[in-house]
A and B are shown apart, each in its own frame.
Chain A
Amino acid sequence: MTPPGADDLELIRGTLDLLVLKTLSWGPMHGLAVLQWIERSTRQRLQVEEGALYPALHRMEDKGWLDAEWGHTDVGRRAKFYRLTTAGRRQLNAELSKWARYSEAVAWLIDAKGAKS
């Protein structure tokens, strides 16, 4: 969890939304939990500037993809929980298919043989 190794990957621009939406698709979470989930499920390979998460969350809330609500954690601390809305779910699907097409395209390029003649 701790060591940011030299092979940590910088987050590709525009993928944070996808990560957050996908994470929240599992259920309501507060910001820290979202981050921890991302770290855990990417095996700590992605380096996210933690602070940058919050503008993204608020932006998506404003766009109506997320709902936010103050609640209490298991240990009774006050925290702001985010939840995926229907619009957010739609957005997630769009992002997923965009990502699939993107990575497919990149894979094609990598697999392509050098141009002959």
Chain B
Amino acid sequence: MSSRKWPGLRRVFRIRVGVRGLRSDVNDELGFHIQGRIEELMANGMSRDEAEAEARRRFGDYERIESEVERFDRGANRRRTMADRIDALRVDLRYTIRMLLRQPIFAIVVVSTLTLGISATTAIFHAVDRVVLHPLPYPDPDRIVYLGWKWAKGGGAHSLSPRKFVFWQEQSRVFDGVATSSTFEAVVGEDQTGSVSRGMRITADYLRVIGMQPALGRAFSKDEFTRSAAPVAILSQALWISQFGGDRSAIGKSIRLDGHPYTIVGVMPASFEVAEQTEWAQVLLPLEFTPEQLSEGGNNYMVIGRLRSDVSRAQIEADMASVFERYRSTFAETDQKDDRGVELLTYQAVFTGGLSSILWLMLGATIFVLVLACANVTNLLLARSLSRQREFAVRTALGAGRGRIARQVVLEMVVLGVISAVLATAASLASVRAIVALANGSLLRESQLKIDPRALVYTTLVALATSLVVGLIVALVATRVDLTKSLAGGGRSTSGGKRQATLRSALVSTESAIAMLLLSGAGLLIASFARVSAVDPGFRREGIFTAVISRAPSGYDSASAVWQFEQRVLDKLRSTPGITSAGATFTLPLQRGWNLPMTVEGRLEESTGDMEWRSMSPAYFQTMDVRLIAGRDILDSDTQASQAVALISQSFAKRYWPNESPIGHRLLLGRYKGKLIGPAFDEPPREIIGVVPDLRDMSLDQKRPRSTVWIPQAQAPKALTRIPAFVVRATDAGIAADALRRAISAADPRMRAPDVAAMTDIVSQSLAWRRFSMVLMTAFALIALTLTCVGIYGVVAYSVAQRVHEIGVRMALGARPGSVVALVVAQGVRPAVVGLLLGLAGALVLSRLLATMLYGVGPRDPLSLGLVAFVLASVAVLASYLPARRASRVDPLTALRSD
């Protein structure tokens, strides 16, 4: 019988052709042939024996032929079964789609629930993939490390001073190369009005370390890294194209940067800009440190190294330790005893340390949301499968096996899952945009968040896994059809049995537990955010506006030139109506100041390297609304010519002068145990003239205020002098911005327009990552809460529908509506409370993960946890009450008659 002739017939009757069947078929056929021959031969006059021998001879090797025929048939049979299966699948698929189209609401609810779950997790997976899992875009990224500086008391810098860099570069034996870079801005082209390009100065091994070479021309030669060498530059692909139209003859030509000519020796490949992921890669110049830079103590250069491929971890550690020993003995006089030497860091540790833990946490949260979505869908499918019991029963009676019906259920789920995956991909594109917007560009860049094939694979796998899991659970439970009961049940649908009721309660508990877990996380993050936002930074942020000038034109090489410019701007500002007061500083609040050692005069042994240096103009504190605790503020009369002075922070004062006034004591800036760290810091002792309250000017959530020394800008050493940032107190943002721009342009028309920002925005921006994690976690928690609410409602409403008859009986027997409500509500609330308690326990265990992201609340903050538990419980009650109220309105007569 052929599948072609009667397609599906074998399937309909579920006839299996086994190997045994095949063999006897073949035997029969061959036997018939031989038998026929024998009879024919005997008819021609042979004896039986002769005829048999002749027939067998003519037939040939029976065994061989039989096995050959069987081999054909087995293969054919296999192919036929496959074709049957595909056929069956097509029929099932058509049936499924017809069923779904008949119940579009059901399909829409399932698809939107799944889409929600899948797109959330896809979007976050994406961020994790790009930010956390993605390696550096250089060749052999595993061998690239960042050299940081470790301190004994914990913590450290992710960068080194030029002196340390050079020392390790020369002494360490475990690297193929060690390099560092700095950035600069320069006007490109003949005239000063040309476009500004951002470039990097790189040390000799930089390109070797990142594993890239110019696509055109050559890298810098060794002697080009000396100050006296003729100036040379390497262009990026983009600059080469914009300036020279991509002409290869650009090599050897000259390009002007800030008016100075540089000979072009090379052009980097386009992949370089992509790899560096920065706008600071347009042009490269050689970096050579000056003697002053080499004597300075600040860890301000990010240093990267490429480890040799043949060194072990132990060798690396031994090398770092021995180089550090040599460094200590070489620079014994300025070295600080609390150093621990160079520490090798990964890219992730340097750049995405904080962010990656947030993202992992969020990925965890989205997976919980997905599980929740699955629970809801499972519930929905279960309920529906119960109402389909009769359909299943009929099909079973007609011969469909349990497996067949199970396959139908799973298939239905897979169809829904695939639709959801497609929608989720589109939705996650949109949510990736939202995430970038939320991160405000400070945490993630959009370039890091494009939908790529890996995310699509992730979406697909997640969608298939969820569909299969949900489908199988439902299939296992729903296909236990009791034929006689279902068919005999007449029009009334079956109650589904204890087993399914238990499963539904378990789903509600799971949902509540997950919702509780996410709500706790969100609650703690919201509480932390509220506390951080309410922190008093020590200055009044409202009404303050700042102006930052990103780049000064030429002519500001001396401290006095900067100071005169600042004076002109401040004078102009102070005479502008609407500006209450104005000041300037080298480092705005929430930016880093300098970290330099100092010695208190007469107390050599107590020197510290852990001291924050900030600078200000007269009236700066007044503008920031900071009231001095003791002494006086600086005045216009504190100049280069007068006695050098400083103000100190309260914690500094307490540390050195717990029982007396610090005023009148003297500080030695830039000296460690009295020894000068570099000629740039040589200056007379500074007299302390006042005490300033501790400001939270590193970040609002800094653990303890840093000991800070404030010095007048007029007296700042050259090494610390730069174009200042201006702050004004004004009644109106527009007035402030206008006044700042006019004043700066009036003081020097060549100055570029400043970036003006409100201090409230700067403070808010400093909380970006907190807001990011809070908003995301809250969003996930709310989704979880909504899904749980829908889930509980669904389960209770379904059970009410199932028990209309029973409720009718109860009411007919005199049950009051109140007791019916209580009965039904309890049914939804009981598993929800179980889940809530489980979730609470989970939250107490998992809150450790959140600990580093919290501020001002413990990870087990009873208020936050209690509050979210209350919210969840209320939602559970509400979700159960609505169907319960309907149950209490059941008319006993109707209910009983419907039987």
Q: Contact residues of A with B, CB < 8 Å?
A: 1-2, 30-32, 35, 49-52, 54-55, 58-59, 61-62, 64, 67-70, 77-80, 85
A2-B44, A31-B29 are known contacts. Are A54 and B65 too (CB-CB below 8 A)?
Answer: yes
Contacts of A80 in B (CB 8 A): 25, 28-29, 32
8 A–B contacts, CB within 8 A, in A order: A30-B33, A50-B60, A51-B61, A51-B64, A54-B65, A55-B68, A55-B69, A80-B25
Task: Confirm or deny: B2 has a beta carbon within 8 angstroms of a beta carbon on chain A.
Answer: yes
Task: Confirm or deny: B30 has a beta carbon within 8 angstroms of a beta carbon on chain A.
Answer: yes
Tell me the complex Cα distance, A60–B41, Å. 29
**CB of B752 to closest CB in A, whole Å:** 81
Q: Are A62 and B4 in contact (CB under 8 A)?
A: no
Q: Which residue of B lies closest to A57 (CB)?
A: B69
Tell me the complex Cα distance, A21–B157, Å. 87
Q: Are A64 and B4 in contact (CB under 8 A)?
A: yes
Task: Confirm or deny: B75 has a beta carbon within 8 angstroms of a beta carbon on chain A.
Answer: yes
Tell me the complex Cα distance, A62–B4, Å. 11
Q: In chain B, residues 13-29, which have Cβ atoms closer than 8 Å to a Cβ of chain A?
A: 25-26, 28-29
Contacts of B656 in A (CB 8 A): none
Contacts of A70 in B (CB 8 A): 1
Count of chain B residues with Cβ under 8 Å from any Cβ of A? Answer: 29
Q: Are A68 and B44 in contact (CB under 8 A)?
A: no
A69-B1, A79-B29 are known contacts. Are A32 and B37 too (CB-CB below 8 A)?
Answer: yes
Tell me the complex Cα distance, A113–B699, Å. 106
Q: Are B60 and A32 in contact (CB under 8 A)?
A: no
Q: Are A67 and B2 in contact (CB under 8 A)?
A: yes
Q: Contact residues of B with A, CB < 8 Å?
A: 1-2, 4-5, 25-26, 28-30, 32-33, 36-37, 41, 44, 58-62, 64-65, 68-69, 72-73, 75-76, 79
Contacts of B4 in A (CB 8 A): 64, 67, 85
Tell me the complex Cα distance, A94–B61, Å. 31
A51-B65, A54-B30, A80-B28 are known contacts. Are A62 and B37 too (CB-CB below 8 A)?
Answer: no
Tell me the complex Cα distance, A32–B28, Å. 13
Tell me the complex Cα distance, A42–B778, Å. 89
Contacts of B68 in A (CB 8 A): 54-55
Contacts of A30 in B (CB 8 A): 29, 32-33
Q: Are A68 and B2 in contact (CB under 8 A)?
A: yes
Q: Are A62 and B75 in contact (CB under 8 A)?
A: yes
Contacts of B73 in A (CB 8 A): 58, 62
A32-B33, A79-B32, A80-B28 are known contacts. Are A50 and B2 too (CB-CB below 8 A)?
Answer: no
Tell me the complex Cα distance, A69–B72, Å. 16
Instruction: From B41, B62, B72, B79, give the contact of A55 (CB < 8 A).
Output: B72
A51-B60, A51-B65, A85-B4 are known contacts. Are A32 and B72 too (CB-CB below 8 A)?
Answer: no
**CB of B169 to closest CB in A, whole Å:** 74
A59-B72, A67-B5, A80-B29 are known contacts. Are A51 and B44 too (CB-CB below 8 A)?
Answer: no
Q: Are A51 and B32 in contact (CB under 8 A)?
A: no
Q: Which residue of A lies closest to B79 (CB)?
A: A62
Tell me the complex Cα distance, A73–B745, Å. 112
Contacts of A50 in B (CB 8 A): 33, 37, 58-60
Q: Are B32 and A55 in contact (CB under 8 A)?
A: no
Q: Are B37 and A78 in contact (CB under 8 A)?
A: no
A1-B44, A31-B33, A67-B2 are known contacts. Are A55 and B28 too (CB-CB below 8 A)?
Answer: no
Q: Which residue of A lies closest to B30 (CB)?
A: A54
Q: Are B60 and A62 in contact (CB under 8 A)?
A: no
Contacts of A79 in B (CB 8 A): 29, 32
Nearest 9 interchain pairs by C-beta: A51-B60, A51-B65, A62-B76, A58-B72, A32-B36, A55-B68, A49-B60, A51-B59, A32-B33
**CB of B339 to closest CB in A, whole Å:** 81
**CB of A27 to closest CB in B, whole Å:** 16
Contacts of A49 in B (CB 8 A): 58-60
A1-B44, A67-B4 are known contacts. Are A77 and B69 too (CB-CB below 8 A)?
Answer: no
Extra contacts, 13 of them, besides A32-B37, A50-B58, A55-B68 (Cβ < 8 A), are A31-B32, A50-B33, A51-B62, A54-B26, A54-B30, A54-B33, A58-B73, A58-B76, A59-B72, A61-B76, A62-B73, A62-B76, A68-B2
> Which of A31, A54, A68, A80 has its CB near the most chain B CB atoms (within 10 A)?
A54
Contacts of B59 in A (CB 8 A): 49-51
Tell me the complex Cα distance, A68–B1, Å. 6
Tell me the complex Cα distance, A55–B41, Å. 24
Tell me the complex Cα distance, A61–B4, Å. 11
Tell me the complex Cα distance, A69–B1, Å. 5
A30-B32, A78-B32 are known contacts. Are A58 and B69 too (CB-CB below 8 A)?
Answer: yes
Tell me the complex Cα distance, A51–B31, Å. 11
Contacts of A77 in B (CB 8 A): 32
Contacts of A69 in B (CB 8 A): 1-2, 5
Q: Which residue of B lies closest to A60 (CB)?
A: B72
Tell me the complex Cα distance, A1–B58, Å. 12
Tell me the complex Cα distance, A30–B33, Å. 9
Contacts of A54 in B (CB 8 A): 26, 29-30, 33, 65, 68-69
**CB of A51 to closest CB in B, whole Å:** 4
Contacts of B64 in A (CB 8 A): 51
Q: Are A61 and B2 in contact (CB under 8 A)?
A: yes
**CB of B219 to closest CB in A, whole Å:** 67
**CB of B83 to closest CB in A, whole Å:** 11
Tell me the complex Cα distance, A52–B30, Å. 11
